[in-house]
Amino acid sequence: MTQLKNDLFLRALKGETVERPPVWMMRQAGRYLPEFRALKAKYDFFTRCRTPELAAEITVQPIDIIGPDAAILFSDILVIPQAMNIEVEMKDGIGPWLPNPIRSLADVEQVIVPDVYEELGYVMDAIKLTKERLDNRVPLIGFAGSPWTILCYAVQGQGSKNFDKAKELCFTQPEAAHQLLQKITDTTIAYLKAKVATGVNAVQVFDSWGGMLSPVDYQEFSWKYIQQIVDALKAETEVIVFGKGCWFALQEMAQSGAAALGVDWTCSARNARYLTGGNITLQGNFDPSRLLSPPAEIKKMVKQMVDAFGKDRYIANLGHGILPNIPVENAQAFVDAVKEYQA
């Protein structure tokens, strides 16, 4: 394996002492960049995901433009249900749309655990092309949604404020819910292992809707499946777990074998360090909307954030994905503030 020119991100994941924290942004390959919007105008969403040349170009755009310390592969968490025989569309103004949501055990039985190289080979091709274009400048992160978050879309059929139908399936037909969660987990493990074999340097599991569950239900319907993924991958790569709104599970997450935990902006650095015992790498937690503040203010707040987390065992990031209406110079100010950091 050729030496990376910038391995700061991987060193922070391993808990090594660093000169400054690494920085990247969730959804950095995306909607706030004019270069991304130009491709969006030409190609629909899943065409961009399924065309390795386009996925590689989009992944590398932010590396060339704003210069973060890691790239994250342009893809989507919903390529997994697509590969599992669940139809997923992306509708303008609505977002994900699943015309045949899963509502019963009979529906779950139609869901397959696919051969990931066959159904998701285009993702592996995108990784290979991206690695060529990155030319060892920075590490590449692969990702997947958590099984619970995928279930939310598969059962609800679209985004939701409360995912009531997803919860209804779990609470009225737990057997169907657990079968579906296990199938998603098995597929996700195979998918992430394939990504690692193809060349990603670390993986992140996004539990975007984990915070919808009570702490007790979180253990049953989300965390135990994420734990299976961590167990299956931790010997092969560094695993980051990001649960939005899941501060209540940080203590357990810290014992999981994950290399790092993402924190959203509702949990302070102090609480996150306290809950995780202070000896695991944390990632986050700048409020994405705060990137609307003037660049000088962003820089000041980023310094305060890094001071609060400490420079070691820390990866500077947002507390969720970057918003489409963020000016590029504000995203740049965020990245630059971390790069200029001195304790």
Residues of each annotated binding site for substrate: 27-31, 46, 76, 153, 208, 320
Q: How far is CA 1 from CA 136, 201, 203, in A?
A: 10, 11, 18
Which residues make up each annotated binding site? Answer: 27-31, 46, 76, 153, 208, 320
**Number of neighbouring beta carbons within 10 Å of residue 76:** 16
Sequence-ordered list of residues with C-beta below 8 angstroms from that of 239, at least 6 positions apart, any chain: 202, 203, 204, 205, 229, 230, 233, 257, 258, 259, 260
